[in-house]
Every structure is written in structure tokens, then in C-alpha cells.
Amino acid sequence: MIHPTAVIHPKAQIGTDCTIGPYCVIGEHVVVGQGNVLHSHVVIDGHTTLGHANEIFPFASIGKRTQDLKWKGGVTRTVIGDHNTIRECVTIHSATSDGDATVVGSHNLVLATCHIAHDCQLGNHIIMSNVASLSGHVVVEDYAVISGLVAVHQFNRIGAMSMIGGCSKVPQDVAPYMLVDGNPAETRTINKLALERNGVSAEAQTALRQAFKIFFRGGLTIPNALAQIERELPPLPEVQHFVRFVRTSERGVTK
């Protein structure tokens, strides 16, 4: 199922049951797994590995050289997992430094014209809505939702099951399980809908709501707020992840 107008390098590795549409271009060092669907005009280049059963729509560009001016050559990689949907005009760039990789996990939905820059590390079950942009070295944990026209600053982390509202500017980390919105972004409340959809227990939801009040509304310093959370709230996995995420933040957490 390869259209005659597709340009595929003889050394590229193409798995079984793939559909490669008109005018797609696949480079020399690309590995495409089984069951992928590339519609038309898709470009996959560089040292890129594409997993299984992904669907990529027209004019997406994956694995091309980083836009980072610090690029000095070498082998940089792009690694895409399984069962991702990558819509029209999405750009996913390779890493900057020799031996490094831009990584996108599995079961993600990346909508039209989104940008995933060099060295980003995305987990699984993430949704990026139209025109959302991740700068270099951004880490996005599982089940996060990044709404349309969001701009995320370099080296930020987006926590698990968090949601960023549309048109937000995100200059600092977004804590897991929280909903942030605004320009610049502010943490508004817990992301209750995501917690319910992903089967987080009622006990954990109550604890996270208390953690939100202590940390974001209590007027305490970060060390004192975290100490109070650890002292007063049950040591549930979600609470522990929240505390660990905040404690290891290098850019600060969106308040």
C-alpha cells in the first residue's frame, strides 16, 4: 500500500501493513513499524523510529533537524511510540546534541499545526490541541491536556493529568492534577474531570483538593507548604507524586 509518488530511501525500513500515501518522503535512517498510516505529503527524516499503528495526516514533518542554533552536528534521534494520531502540519524536531533524542510516547493525540521542539519528552495519553507549542526540553507527563494556542517555555514540566487552558502562556512548571489558565498562567483548581475519567479514588481527589488549598492558597513558603501536606494528608501515590514534582522543580511551579 505504497503510492507510486511516495519517495522512500532504499535503506529506510518499512514494516508490514503500512499505508504510505501520495508524495510522502521517508529518509535513509527512518524505521517505520507495522500498521502505520501516512496520508499524503508526510515527511519523516533524520534518525527517526516510528512505532506501530500510528496515523499521520498531510504535511506533518517528523525528525527533521532541530531549530536550536546550538546544533553542532552528530547523530540526534526522534522516537515515536505506538497508536498516536498526528494531525495536519504538526512538526516534531530531532534533538540538538549528539546522542540525544526527542521522544513521544504512545496513544497521544496531537492536533493540527502543533509544534514539539527538540529534546521534548512526552509520555502517554496526552492531548495537544491545535497550534499548541512546546519549546525545547519540555517534559509532559501522562494524561496531560494542552489546549489550543498554548505556549510552553523551554525546560518546563507539565504534570500528569493536568490541563492548560487555551491561549495560556506557561513560563513555569504545571503541577500534576491541576488546572491552569491565563497569560501568564495561574493554577485555578484541581483537574477534577481528568481525575474522575482516569479512575482516581474519591479519597485521593479529596486529598489533592486539600493539597491545592495548602500549597496554592495557604500563603506559605514552598518548603512549609510541602511539609504541611506531608504532615496532614494521607501518603497516597497521587499526593506523593505532587510533593515530589514540586520539590524537584527547577523553574518553579505555576502558582
Question: For each of the chain's 255 residues, which pLDDT tens digit applies?
Answer: 999 999 999 999 999 999 999 999 999 999 999 999 999 999 999 999 999 999 999 999 999 999 999 999 999 999 999 999 999 999 999 999 999 999 999 999 999 999 999 999 999 999 999 999 999 999 999 999 999 999 999 999 999 999 999 999 999 999 999 999 999 999 999 999 999 999 999 999 999 999 999 999 999 999 999 999 999 999 999 999 999 999 999 999 999
Among 68, 82, 119, 181, the active-site one is: 119
Among 21, 46, 51, 136, the active-site one is: 136
Question: How far, in Å, are 56, 72, 207, 227, 234 from residue 240 at the CA level?
Answer: 37, 40, 11, 12, 9
Question: How far, in Å, are 5, 15, 37, 216 from residue 87 at the CA level?
Answer: 21, 21, 12, 36
| Residues in the chain, total | 255
CATH of 196-247, one of 3.20.20.480, 3.40.50.620, 1.20.1180.10, 1.20.200.10: 1.20.1180.10
- Which is nearest to 35 in space by CA: 47, 49, 50, 19? 19
Cα dihedral 159, 161, 164, 166 sign: positive
Per-residue model confidence as pLDDT tens digits over 173-211: 999 999 999 999 999 999 999 999 999 999 999 999 999
Domain map (residue ranges) of the chain = 7-137, 196-247
CATH of 7-137, one of 3.40.50.261, 3.40.50.970, 2.160.10.10, 3.40.50.720: 2.160.10.10
DSSP state letter for 82: S
Q: What percent of the chain has pLDDT over 70?
A: 100
Q: Is 173 a catalytic residue?
A: no
Q: Is 119 a catalytic residue?
A: yes
**Quick check: 186 and 180 in contact, CB under 8 A?**
yes
Amino acid at 6: A
Among 118, 125, 137, 241, the active-site one is: 118
Q: Is 3 a catalytic residue?
A: no
- The helix or strand, by DSSP H or E, that contains position 78, with its residue range, turns out to be strand 77-80
Strand partners, 31: 13, 49
What is the rounded distance in angstroms from the CA atom of residue 253 to the CA atom of residue 255? Answer: 6
